[in-house]
Amino acid sequence: MALAEPLPSGEEQQSPVTAEREVILGYPTLRSHIMHKVRRETLPKIGLLIVFATIFLAIFGPLLAPYNTTAATNLVNAAPSAAHWFGTDGSGLDIFSRVIAAPRIDVSIALLATALALVVGSAIGLFATFYGGWLGALAIRATDTLQAFPALILAIIVVVLTGHGIGNIIVVIAVLNMPLYARLMRGEVLRIRDRAFVEAARASGLSDLAIAWRQVLPNATAPVVAQMSVTIGWAILATAGLSFLGAGVLPPTPEWGSMISTGSSGIILGQWWPSVFPGLAMALTVFGFAVVADTIQTALGREG
């Protein structure tokens, strides 16, 4: 007799209980996670509202402004009134019109800079890590080095050296944020590249490029998306900060930072409105983006 009988084949043992039953595991997608938080909690609602309002103003703000944003009225340094809700500044410009027109500059710069940082930084992180080698190591070290400098000071120096201009500001802010995205992406790639499905893709003959693009990247986007919202807020602050210091967008273009700056000289005379309203608008916007970033991050299971 044989030492061990082969098991009976499958047909005889088919039981009704084990007939393929689809098991839907509790595995909510990131999007449903975020939507759940937004529905249930107040703060994410406020954050989203602010973000949408800001984007709305970036598109339509200048059209909605009741006064010409760069042409002076006869009233100089007028306090808030029914005609001029936020008052007028030292040149006689209507502050309300300028505050709601400013997102077009501030938010455009922030969005473009963030997009640039995200695309280039992620690409560096993805390919430098996935392909490895000395070139990859060099790219990662270079981005590390960039991170060692205090960002805003570096930005001021570069903008002062290369000249004002929105293009320069965008590039500078983007370059300063690239290392973050490169690092985030690197971490994700290191996490993913030895996963079984990457091995399986390799075994099915997919090229390295196809694996990086189709297998690794789609699994690496979540923390990058969360970071995006943080970067947008930071970029708005940086743009305003540069402009405040006279190294960014110059007056009379409506921009929060430069408005705060021009208004600041009047504060000791009791003329608070030229600085306070753009300051509040900016703070609110950054707060909105920060809340959204936080919502995404907690949905990802990474607190704060």
Partner 1 sequence: MLFEVSDLSVEYSSLGEISRAVNGVSLSVASGEVVGIVGESGSGKSTLALALLGLTRRNARITAGSVRLEGTDLVGGGLSEKQLRQFRGRRIGLITQNARSSLNPTIRIGKQIATVYATHTGAKRADARAAAIAALRLVGINDPERRFEAYPHELSGGMAQRAVIAMATVCRPDVVIADEATSRLDVTIQAQILDDLQRAVQEVGSSLVLITQDLGVIANYADRLYVMNAGEVIETAATSLLFAAPGHPASVSLLESQLDLSELQFRLRGLPVDGRELPEGCWLQTRCPFMDEGSGCRTVHPELSDIGGGHEVRCHRTTVVVGRAAELAR
SS3 88: strand
Residue with token string 């080095």: 145
For the bound state, the minimum distance from the C-beta of residue 27 to partner 1, rounded and expressed in Å, comes to: 4
206 vs 276, beta carbon nearer partner 1: 206
**Using CA atoms, how far apart are residues 124 and 117, in angstroms rounded to an integer?**
10
Asked whether the beta carbons of 222 and 30 are under 8 A apart, the reply is: yes
Candidate segments 14-22, 34-42, 68-76, 150-158, binder of partner 1 by CB under 8 A: 14-22
Q: Closer CB to partner 1, residue 20 or residue 303?
A: 20
Residues in the chain: 304
Residues 213-272 that bind partner 1 (CB under 8 A): 214-215, 218-219
- Angle between helix axes 42-64 and 103-131 (nearest 10 degrees) is 120
- 162 Cβ partners below 8 Å, 6+ apart? 168, 172
The correct pick among 9, 42, 150, 161 for binding partner 1 (CB under 8 A) is: 9
CB 122 within 8 A of CB 224: yes
Asked whether 76 and 92 are in contact (CB, 8 A), the reply is yes
Interface with partner 1 (CB under 8 A), residue from 133, 148, 204, 270: 204
Nearer to partner 1 by Cβ, of 79 and 214: the residue is: 214
Please measure the distance between the N-terminal and C-terminal CA atoms of the chain and give it in whole angstroms: 67
Residue with smaller CB distance to partner 1, 195 or 302: 195
Which member of 157, 197, 250, 284 binds partner 1 (CB under 8 A)? 197
Backbone φ and ψ of 15, nearest 5° = -110, 150
What's the closest the beta carbon of residue 5 comes to partner 1, in angstroms?
8
The whole-angstrom separation of Cα 58 and Cα 52 is: 10
**How many other CB atoms sit within 10 Å of the CB of residue 35?**
14
Instruction: Pull the structure tokens for residue 246.
Output: 């006279």
Q: From the list 56, 63, 66, 199, which residue makes contact with partner 1 (rule: CB under 8 A)?
A: 199
Query: Residue 301 interacts with partner 1 (CB under 8 A)?
Result: no
Question: What is the per-residue DSSP string for 97-129?
Answer: HHHHHTHHHHHHHHHHHHHHHHHHHHHHHHHHH
Identify the residue among 79, 137, 138, 200 touching partner 1 (CB under 8 A): 200
Residue 12 Cβ vs partner 1, minimum distance, rounded to whole Å: 9
Which CB sits closer to partner 1, 64 or 200?
A: 200
Write the interaction track for partner 1 spanning residues 99-138; mark x where CB under 8 A is met and - where it is not.
Answer: ----------------------------------------
Q: Please say which residue, 24 or 161, places its beta carbon nearer to partner 1.
A: 24
* From 36, 141, 191, 202, residue interacting with partner 1 (rule: CB under 8 A): 202
Instruction: Classify residue 165 as left (phi > 0), alpha (psi -120 to 50) or beta.
Output: left
* Positions in the binding site for partner 1 (CB under 8 A): 1-4, 6-11, 13-15, 18, 20-25, 27, 194-197, 199-207, 210, 214-215, 218-219
